[in-house]
Chain A
Amino acid sequence: METIVQQIQGVPLNHYILFCSLIFTIGVIGVLIRRNVIIIMMSVELMLNSVNLLLTAFSAYSGDPAGQVFVFFIMALAAAEVAVGLAIIVMVYRNTRSVDINALNRLRG
């Protein structure tokens, strides 16, 4: 156990923080730029997972298991969210025959 932890701690924490921020930013940009709603869902997942990674890293470095427990929660939540989100996408597709978000401008004022 000790050695695994030590090996994990071999990688400086800043690397993890940078890495996760990068992935998070990629996720954000993906949400903002992409037109296909499924790709947007994937980008949201990417954001969530980057946060998961960071939490795990912090948990490993501080020896506090609370971070990893929280990761479980986030995973469950992400799964539920994807389920609901995909259901909505299916309904939208049935109504507008498209998965392009620019076709969803019925809320225009």
Chain B
Amino acid sequence: MIDLIWLIPLLPLVGFLVNGLGRDVLPKSLVGVIGSGVVLIAFLLSCGVFSTIYALRQAGESAVFTQPVFEWISAGNLRVSLSFLVDPLSAIMLLIVTGIGFLIHVYSIGYMQHDTGFAKFFAYLNLFIFFMLLLVLGSNYLVMFIGWEGVGLCSYLLIGFWFKNSSYANAAKKAFVMNRIGDLGFLIAVFLIFTTFGTLEFAGIFPQAAKMVMGDATLLLITLLLFVAATGKSAQIPLFTWLPDAMAGPTPVSALIHAATMVTAGIYMIARSNILFTLSPITLQVVAAIGICTALLAAAIAVTQNDIKKVLAYSTVSQLGYMFLGLGVGAFTGAFFHVITHAFFKALLFLGAGSVIHAMSDEQDMRSMGGLKKHLPVTYVTMLIGTIAIAGIPPLSGFFSKDEILAHAFAHNKVLWVLGFAGALFTAFYMFRMLFLTFFGRFRGTSEQASHLHESPITMTIPLIVLAVLAALGGLLNVPSALGGHHALASFLEPVFADSVAKAGEFHLEHTTEYILMGISAVAAVIMAIIAYQQYVSKAVVPLSDDSPRSALSRLSYRKFYVDELYDTLVVRPLNALSLFFYRKVDKGGIDGIVNGLGGAAGESSKGIRLLQSGNVGFYIFMMVIAVVALLAYGIFNG
């Protein structure tokens, strides 16, 4: 099974070509089957690969397989091959990408049924899965970079899927440009890696790096640049504003790309390069600081948002902040565990939101919703599970993963724990706010919308149910020993992070301290849920409309802390002015001026010289005489 690794990315690529080229001829049902089918087969192959790796890890052996496909670049010292690497880390990512990808493909069959670009959508989704698989399977930084850029491209294509709307197209452009800014960091880091280590293969770099001294300056630079790339891809400060705008894309896109897979690429990349980061403690501090700041900022914004997808978008940014916080305090397994559980419950929440939007005839404002739980029972129950999971209430999955990160944060720096705890309070509050505004109370929409309210078709509800089960039970993957578990995920991933753990030291926290921390977070989350219930169900508060006056704090949060406006003033306007300057003064004035000027000069001079041709023979003879005299004079005086 292991030698079929190359099939896993190939199948979605074939799906892309078939659906893309045949988009006008294939019937919709066939498109849906092909699109989902290739991902299903890729998922089954990934299961096979995973079971092989799992069996090896159970036997206590290291499980790393490389499969070279072909020699790609061979220029002097630079030898890069297109090859795939499978180890515990990528095996799990394979399952997530193909598994959740498959569920979302099935969901899209129902969701995009009435869209004219149905086949194009599935083609783009398959292309995205292909690039994402390249990213996680790549055995060197360059193959990872191909996948990295490719998912950025697919994100652009899918966010701007309904391109006829110019604001959606602008959102897609914004996402792509911000991603590219991060990609610059990645590229420079790759150059530095090559000059430092002489190779781009992971298997070549990490053993060399393990011998380097802690705090090495080159490694610091490399890791900082890699982190810049991660901020672009995973929407952290300062490159996060694209993700809320990316909600312009269809909801399955938001679920797949901006919740479960693409945005986790940054964390995957850092987890893969963990030894480089462990040897650069300054970078890790930066990572943790930016992670927690982003988590809090996004959580503060999410509290006042009224668009159901925007709440989830800011929630994603916030949870990604937690993952980076986890990486920054050395909880590599914890952060990755949060990636897994977040993929489950965030995809679930987005798909559920899509189901709600579908039922509400494409209305996304929660102020027009309410009381939907009797009309959309399956959606309600699954979203309830998702909300409890994300709020971190035991025994659902979010509790285990978030708590592991917070425990490491506590051991590292108490302030980080306090801030993380505050963020968790926000999270519980705004998620339950979202749930209550949408599903409880009285319906606040139009009667037109009320008449169309219906539960979604089975292609949409089955993925919801599957994801709800995963979100509920996902915590069992890594139950900490404090609660009597065997932290299965940690032992599974142990060889990936072994060097880092050796350098950074083992993590120790007294069991009693852990119990206290867990207890505090669980109780606090429940309290915030109760407060939200009081506010939005008992008192049936409806959020303010856009033009009503707000308190300063509320306005700050609702206007997203004016970050977009800040970027507009600092970056967009100067760039536009510069571009206008180049266009007017340099291109039109300068270059066109020179070219037109030459033409004009030729024209003017020819007009003048043309007058010499008067047809007057006497004038011609006169000129001849003058010329002869001049030549003679020259001859006499100079010759």
Contact = CB atoms under 8 A, between A and B. Distances in A.
Interface string A18-58: 00000000001001100100000000000000000000000
B625 A108 contact: no
B615 A32 contact: no
A28 B625 contact: yes
Interface in B11-47: none
Contact of B615 (A28, A31, A35, A106): A106
Contact of A102 (B616, B621, B622, B625): B616
A101 interface: yes
Contact of B614 (A28, A32, A35, A108): A108
B614 A102 contact: no
A43 B613 CA distance: 24
B617 A104 contact: yes
Interface in B607-635: 610-618, 621-622, 625
Contact of B617 (A28, A101, A109): A101
A80 interface: no
A89 B408 CA distance: 113
Contact of B622 (A32, A106, A107): A32
Interface string B584-626: 0000000000000000000000000011111111100110010
Interface string A67-109: 0000000000000000000000000000000000110111111
Nearest to A33: B618
Nearest to A35: B618
A32 B617 contact: no
Given A28-B625, A32-B625, A109 B618 contact: no
A95 to B, nearest CB: 15
A107 B621 contact: no
A28 B632 CA distance: 15
Nearest to B618: A101
A105 B618 CA distance: 10
Contacts of B612: 109
A2 to B, nearest CB: 36
Nearest to B612: A109
B615 A104 contact: yes
Nearest to B616: A105
Contacts of B618: 32, 35, 101-102
The dominant DSSP class at the A interface is helix
Contacts of A104: 615, 617
Interface string B517-552: 000000000000000000000000000000000000
Contacts of A105: 614-617
B621 A31 contact: yes
A109 B610 contact: yes
Nearest to B610: A109
A106 B613 CA distance: 10
A105 B619 CA distance: 11
Nearest to A102: B616
Nearest to A44: B621
Nearest to A40: B621
Contacts of B615: 104-109
Contacts of A108: 613-615
B616 A32 contact: no
A109 B609 CA distance: 10
B631 to A, nearest CB: 15
A34 to B, nearest CB: 9
Contacts of B613: 107-109
A43 to B, nearest CB: 10
B621 A32 contact: yes
A28 B628 CA distance: 12
Interface string B255-281: 000000000000000000000000000
Contacts of A32: 618, 621-622, 625
Contacts of B614: 105, 108-109
A28 B615 CA distance: 20
Nearest to A104: B617
A107 B615 CA distance: 5
Contacts of A101: 616-618
A13 to B, nearest CB: 19
Contacts of A107: 613, 615
A31 B610 CA distance: 24
A17 to B, nearest CB: 15
Nearest to B614: A108
A28 B624 CA distance: 11
A109 B610 CA distance: 6
Contacts of A109: 610-615
B619 to A, nearest CB: 9
Contacts of A35: 618
A19 B256 CA distance: 109
A35 B622 CA distance: 13
Nearest to B628: A28
Contacts of B616: 101-102, 105
A31 B611 CA distance: 22
B606 to A, nearest CB: 10
Contacts of B610: 109
Contacts of A31: 621, 625
A105 B625 CA distance: 19
A106 B616 CA distance: 9
Nearest to B620: A107
A99 to B, nearest CB: 12
A107 B612 CA distance: 11
Contacts of A102: 616-618
B70 to A, nearest CB: 69
A84 to B, nearest CB: 16
A70 B235 CA distance: 100
Counting chain B CB atoms within 10 Å of each CB, the highest count among A28, A104, A106, A109 belongs to: A109
Counting chain A CB atoms within 10 Å of each CB, the highest count among B611, B613, B617, B621 belongs to: B617
Closest 3 CB pairs of A and B: A105-B615, A109-B613, A108-B615
27 contacts: A28-B625, A31-B621, A32-B618, A32-B622, A32-B625, A35-B618, A101-B616, A101-B617, A101-B618, A102-B616, A102-B617, A102-B618, A104-B617, A105-B614, A105-B615, A105-B616, A105-B617, A106-B615, A107-B613, A107-B615, A108-B613, A108-B614, A108-B615, A109-B612, A109-B613, A109-B614, A109-B615
Interface of B: 610-618, 621-622, 625
Given A105-B614, A108-B613, A108-B615, 9 more contacts: A31-B621, A32-B625, A35-B618, A102-B616, A104-B615, A104-B617, A109-B612, A109-B614, A109-B615
